[in-house]
Structure 1
Amino acid sequence: MLHRDYRIYSSAPLRQLADEQTRAMLPDIQRSAGACALSLGASGDVAVPSLPMIGGWTRMWIAAGGYRGDVCAAIDAPLPFLDEAFDVVLLRHALEVVAEPSILLGEAMRVLAPGGVLVVTGVHPVSGWAPWFYWRSGGTRILRFPGQLGRRLERHGLEIEWTRRVGGPWPSDASGHAASFNPCGGGYVMMARKRCRRATPLRILPAPTRLHVASGRLSPGTRRSAVS
């Protein structure tokens, strides 16, 4: 039986959904390479994926009053990282628990390196999960349409590689393995890539030629103005 409480992301249905979302994204993000990745989630209970070509993970999650994990910060402050610091940024249901999801999404794009991958997961608002989600959370959280998020990412220089719905059609405490893609699935996974900067070609100017005439005389037909 499903019970109502406010630790929704620690519940069995959402933990199972998180596993399905990880399986859906894993084949693609395992090809990512770089120095480090950032995982920012709604709960600290979910393990990060294993990425063999990424140097390491920085794990953070949203708790009362701010970010917790490897780095702590205030929730209303920018993420405490330099621009373009991460080759992979993973937002796991994080946009569902912040008051200003557009600000967090903008920060995720800021810290993502050119050519890097941004993965966003969430509960789909048009699914059998939505009534359960609102009831379980006490109506305090808002679900986002992945299409709206994708258009915002495209306006800021990211390319949407794919968006998939995953998980069962409704929440359940029963364990199991759903298909990696389900058109009626309760969750979604969106993968986007930040465009690399285009190199600006430089105009190459010919270097002036200097001739040294030892005898002081020029060959026939040579103009003196051509020699400096």
Structure 2
Amino acid sequence: MATMPSLSAHGQPDDAATARPAWTASAAGRALLQGELESVLAALGERPGQPWLWLCPASAAAEVPGCGLRLQAGLDGWTGDVRCALPLPLANESVAAVVLQHVETRGAEADALVQECARVLVPGGRLVLYALNPLSPWRWRWAGAAARSTEPMPWRRRMRAAGLVPDPVSQGVGPRWQLGAEPGLQHGLGIRAAWMLRAEKRAIPLTPVRQRTRLRIGGGVPAA
């Protein structure tokens, strides 16, 4: 497994002039990120001692124990602990958990990103995705802002196409009505501000070895 650099307090500098405008930096966005924080930390720490990858908004500033990379979207790729573009500068099967938190990509770009996540995950590792819920009454808080909502189905198809096994049901996360953090998860999207979907990279099972039919001799006594 490739060695991962430790998470630094500052990472590499990011130019504000080249960063994408982020709704998550608003009061409502920060409340949502705070409500997701517990489940994000649980996902990154699910396999203690193993590296993780967290692609998140720049305003997600929580310290995470362990060894991993935290990256934010920029105009020309990713910035944060390292500056890079796809493909990610990580070896195959080198991280135990990947969290995509409000990564605003669509179409072929989103397909390529999920493929990369599947590539760097170890067998048994998990990809955890967070996105805004288009059915939530909270959507008026990001109306007109540089934020995108989406349903789980397109991402579930991307996960399957990348060889991952997504959970059959997504979970609602974040506030329902009030401007404030609301911890905990809900079965199904409901009216929570966002949703979370997990997918696992299954280990490829070994092909069972067919037992040879033993040769019978004479009156039906099997040969050794």
Aligned match of 1:10:
25
Kindly state the Cα deviation for residue 57 of structure 1 after the two structures are TM-superposed: 1.6
Distance 1:99 1:38 in 2: 21
Shift of 1:155: 3.7
Return the offset for 1:187.
Answer: 0.8
Residues 43, 97 of structure 2: 8 Å contact kept: no
**Secondary structure of the equivalent of 2:185?**
coil
In the alignment, is residue 153 of structure 1 matched against residue 159 of structure 2? yes
Runs of at least 5 residues in structure 1 that lack an aligned partner in the other structure: 1-5, 206-228
- What RMSD over aligned residues (CA atoms) do the two structures have, in Å? 3.0
Match of 1:220 in 2: none
Contact kept? 1:96, 1:144, Cα under 8 Å: no
Does the 8 Å contact 1:81/1:111 carry over to 2? yes
Q: Structure 2 unaligned runs (5+)?
A: 1-20, 213-224
Answer with 1 or 2: which has the greater Rg: 1
- 2:164 is aligned with what amino acid? L
- Could you say which residue in structure 1 is the equivalent of 2:15? none
Aligned partner (choices 96, 99, 111) of residue 102 of structure 1: 111
Shift of 1:120: 0.5
CA drift of 1:98 comes to: 9.3
Work out whether residues 172 and 196 of structure 2, in 8 Å CA contact, stay in contact via their aligned partners in 1: yes
1:97–1:69 CA distance, 2 compared to 1 (3 A): farther
1:42–1:188: structure 2 CA closer, same or farther, 3 Å change rule? Answer: same
SS of the equivalent of 1:39 reads strand
1:199 Cα offset (Å): 1.9
Q: Of residues 61, 72, 82 in structure 1, which corresponds to 2:83?
A: 72
The correspondence of residues 43-54 of structure 1 with structure 2, limited to 5 A, is 43=58, 45-47=60-62, 49-50=64-65
- Scaled by the length of structure 2, what TM-score is found? 0.71
Call closer, same or farther: CA 1:148–1:127 in 2, change over 3 Å. same
The number of residue pairs the alignment matches comes to 190
Q: How many angstroms apart in 2 are the aligned matches of 1:198 and 1:142?
A: 38
Taking only the aligned residue pairs, the percentage that are identical comes to 28
User: Aligned to 1:120, which of 115, 119, 129?
Assistant: 129
Summarize deviations over 1:16-65 as a string: whole Å, max 9, x none.
Answer: 21122222455565432452000111325432544xxxx51211111232
The Cα shift of 1:134 comes to 3.5
Q: Structure 1 residue 61 and structure 2 residue 76: aligned?
A: no
1:12 partner amino acid: A
Code of the aligned partner of 1:117: R
The C-alpha deviation readout for 1:54-101, integer Å capped at 9, x for no partner, is x51211111232211111113xx3112122111100111113589822
Using structure 1 for the length normalisation, give the TM-score: 0.70
